[in-house]
Amino acid sequence: MVMKPRIRGIVWFRRDLRLADQPAFTAACKECDEVIPLFVFDEPLLQSHEFGSACVNFMLGCLDELQASLVALGLPLQWRRGCQVDEVFRAALEWEADVVYWNRDYEPSALLRDRAVQERLTREDIAVKTFKDHVVFEAEEVRGAAGEPMQRYSAYRARWWAKWHAVKPTVCVVPHSSTTTKKAVRSSMSPLPTANELGYEYLVPWIAPGEHRAREQLRWFVEGL
């Protein structure tokens, strides 16, 4: 009997520090036999001080809740610090990953970063799977009749809503712990760094961080419409 090779996947968390409706994480848990969640602290960005201590502390709060949620699923978050392109590539080689999953980002610098990561992984025959996440429809999905970019907001809005009613995007369900615990590869985890260790001042965020609080705020907003 020929044994089917086990598929090991890395889920690279970026601006999507949550498990609910998380396309990359859901797909990895569905398609892979072994799953490793990963976050990379972007050292060049931290050194640039483009954002302040409040932002860093909020991010750490979100990561702390994400870590707890992942531990409950038996898949503790692994983290690294450095150039994201280098660290994701090194992690994929070190952990002998077959595929790396992430949700797409649309900022110019993020597009360049993701392209560089994908090129390096592809050269090593490591597959890459990316997913729509931050938007309901991507730019090329809402176009004019001839496929051209739409220039008037009213026309774009009408086309957007028409597509919404026709497609009705689905919500990804959080995988159950009864299945995810069997996919664990790295059971150990390192404590997340503190704001001071990242070179920033410790502050208590004015807005409570984390997925749970964000969903509460979303519910409050929707109920008020």
Q: Which stretches in the chain have pLDDT values below 50?
A: 1-2
What token pair was written down for 63? 């990561």
Output the pLDDT for position 4.
63
Output the pLDDT for position 186.
67
Query: Domains (ranges, CATH) in the chain?
Result: 8-135+184-217 (3.40.50.620)
Output the pLDDT for position 2.
47
Output the pLDDT for position 177.
78
Q: What DSSP string runs through 145-194?
A: TTSPPP--HHHHHHHHHHHHHHH----PPPPPHHHHGGGBS----PPPPP
Output the pLDDT for position 175.
85
Distances (CA, A) of 132 to 71, 188, 200: 25, 30, 32
Give the rounded percent of residues in the chain with a pLDDT score beyond 70.
96
pTM of the shown model: 0.92
Residues 15-62: tens digit of each pLDDT: 999 999 999 999 999 999 999 999 999 999 999 878 899 999 999 999
Closest C-alpha to 60, from 199, 200, 209, 214: 209
